[in-house]
A and B are shown apart, each in its own frame.
Chain A
Amino acid sequence: MTTIAASRRGGVGQSLSLAWRGLVQIRHNPFELGDLSFQPIMFVLLFTYLFGGAISGDPVTYLQFMLPGIIVQSGLMATMNTGMGLSMDLHKGFFDRLQALPIARWAPLAGRVISDAVKQGWSMAVLLGTGYAIGFRATEGVVAVLAAFGLMLAFSLLASWFAVFTGTIASDPEKVMMYGFTAVFPLSFLSNAFVKTETLPGWLQAFVKVNPVTHVSDALRGLLTGGPVLEHAMWGLLGGLVIAVVFAPLAVIRLKRR
């Protein structure tokens, strides 16, 4: 009998295999790709044409302001898929199956994060594409657009620890989405993702100004349509880091104590 050389491929290879698992599902369930596409398209169109006139005088001016914000919101919402998938694996016993294999302990989580990052990249491309089709213009060049992708993926990678944590505590996978909406909705709307900070009452401005969503939105604006980037990116990533530092240990404790 051959005893399998467990470490031959190492944790990175194992993570990639598990990422493949998350992506090959799309082939059998094309609706998932639809979920990742229709929702962004719908949000861009709704916000642009519904609120554009009221907020900025005309839809395209508003689109130019709001698209970076909607990218951040949709990115945060997408992290909840990571939590939901994890919760599903935990409840169905697939997580146990993986943990009983001689693989790196972190590979299952890393694999999921990688496949979700790919899906997130896709969502972001759909958002940008839709925006482009109706008049959005990135003014800072290709490198800046790529940097915007990079920043957004980095931020959601950090923020996804909240989703992972909810995945470990939810009594069923649907609950993850409920927790997700409850946290992500206020966080993304109480920011300058959709409206300018100055238009808000003072007490609300105080929160909006420290909300990392505000800073990431501003950094993306800088990268896509011009303006300061570095400071906002730092504050945004710092906010993401705080989320990760709080929820990553909690999630790992929950996983170990099951």
Chain B
Amino acid sequence: MLRRMSNAILAEGLVKRFGPTVALNGVDLAVGQGTVLGLLGPNGAGKTTAVRILATLLRPDEGRATVGGLDVERDAHRVRAMIGLTGQYASVDDQLTGSENLRLIGRLLGLSRTAARSRAAELLAGFGLQDAADRAAKTYSGGMRRRLDLAASLIGRPRVLFLDEPTTGLDPRARADVWDIIRELVTSGVSVLLTTQYLDEADQLADEIVVIDHGRVIAGGTPDELKRQTGAQTLMVRPSLESDAEKVRAVVAELAAKPELSGAVVTAQVTDPAVLPVVVRRLDDAGVRVSELTLRTSTLDEVFLALTGHRAEEVSA
């Protein structure tokens, strides 16, 4: 009971099947009050299904879930009064203006006409949309739409927010804007369940990350724990001479586990950024000239490869 009170979201053993497809195969999740849980996984992993169940849009076949201590099936109506949902696709009405979209939600939530109007104006200003308030949403850019969508889910001052891939398809600047908004919300005490395909997004925002694949939780922990588990970064070395590739592999193998050689390019997962100068020195000692050498954050693909032994695309197929 105590555990449930301290968790904004708690899911136990969620199972959901669509015909022969098992979308969720026993998923447990816990989101602490005022924290962000990043739900990470490729397309088709079951992220959206999990969000839809927790947001009362779908009933699980097995398992149970509570939001704010209330059962999402039996107390669906009260759960809805406390959550905000921002879908994978910007779910605003294209034909309505930004202001009309927000006023509509306000009215539906029981605000008076004046209260809905002032709440809409407040949010539009807060999200830098005041100049576009009276333009139809279909004229908005991708980033503006996403901000409007976020604003729409905040009208009722939700205590729990579901963000289903809030930055998919956005350019880096628009994405950074959305991140800032999310950080501000969390500071004000909102609990967030964030699904994303991007490791760096989860890294930026989440207190904890759960990785799901094929409807199962395959890893979880703080971003740092996950990185230690999987190799946070990828080292990539391309020698000037293709014939040096094997030498490069040998050098990298001394510093990182399981380097992979494909063509003349050697890649390896590394956890310690300090490895970079060491690699440079040793390659120099070995007399290898390098045309390209990078250390970058692992892509989701690489995390997946490390965690599951298969690549992300195969999962979504």
Question: Chain A interface (Cβ within 8 Å of chain B)?
Answer: 1-9, 13-14, 17-18, 20-21, 24-25, 28-29, 92-94, 96-103, 107, 258
The answer to whether B97 touches A28 (Cβ under 8 A) is yes
The answer to whether A102 touches B109 (Cβ under 8 A) is yes
The answer to whether A97 touches B111 (Cβ under 8 A) is no
| In the complex, chain A residues whose CB is within 8 Å of the CB of B105 | 97, 101
A22 vs chain B, min Cβ distance (A): 9
Chain B interface size, as a band, is: 35 or more
| In the complex, chain A residues whose CB is within 8 Å of the CB of B91 | 92-94, 96-97
Look across to chain A and name the residue whose beta carbon is closest to the beta carbon of B105.
A101
Q: Which of B135-169 contact A (CB under 8 A)?
A: 136, 152-153, 156-157, 159
- The answer, yes or no, to whether B92 is at the interface (CB within 8 Å) is yes
| In the complex, chain A residues whose CB is within 8 Å of the CB of B81 | 3-4, 6, 102
| In the complex, chain A residues whose CB is within 8 Å of the CB of B108 | 14, 17-18, 98, 101, 103, 107
Provide the B211-222 mask, 1 if CB < 8 A to any CB of A, else 0: 000000000000
| In the complex, chain B residues whose CB is within 8 Å of the CB of A5 | 110
The answer to whether B80 touches A94 (Cβ under 8 A) is no
The answer to whether A93 touches B88 (Cβ under 8 A) is yes
A24→B97 CA distance, assembly (Å): 10
- The answer, yes or no, to whether B174 is at the interface (CB within 8 Å) is no
Given A6-B109, A9-B110, A20-B104, residue A100 in contact with residue B56 (CB < 8 A): yes
| In the complex, chain B residues whose CB is within 8 Å of the CB of A100 | 55-57, 80, 83, 85
Given A92-B94, A94-B91, A101-B80, residue A4 in contact with residue B104 (CB < 8 A): no
Residue among A18, A24, A25, A97 with most chain B CB within 10 A = A97
| In the complex, chain A residues whose CB is within 8 Å of the CB of B290 | none
The 8 Å CB contact of B92, one of A3, A94, A107, is A94
The 8 Å CB contact of A3, one of B57, B82, B87, B90, is B82
Question: Chain B interface (Cβ within 8 Å of chain A)?
Answer: 52, 55-58, 77-78, 80-83, 85, 87-97, 100, 104-105, 107-111, 136, 152-153, 156-157, 159
B308 vs chain A, min Cβ distance (A): 29
| In the complex, chain B residues whose CB is within 8 Å of the CB of A9 | 107, 110
Q: A2-B157, A14-B107, A92-B91 are in contact. List 17 more A-B contacts (CB 8 A).
A: A3-B81, A3-B157, A4-B157, A6-B81, A9-B107, A21-B100, A25-B96, A28-B96, A93-B88, A94-B91, A94-B93, A96-B91, A97-B85, A100-B80, A101-B80, A102-B109, A107-B108
The answer to whether A21 touches B110 (Cβ under 8 A) is no
A59→B52 CA distance, assembly (Å): 58
The 4 closest A-B pairs by CB, nearest first: A93-B91, A102-B80, A93-B87, A8-B110
A87→B78 CA distance, assembly (Å): 27
| In the complex, chain B residues whose CB is within 8 Å of the CB of A17 | 104, 107-108
The answer to whether B57 touches A21 (Cβ under 8 A) is no
| In the complex, chain A residues whose CB is within 8 Å of the CB of B95 | 25, 28-29
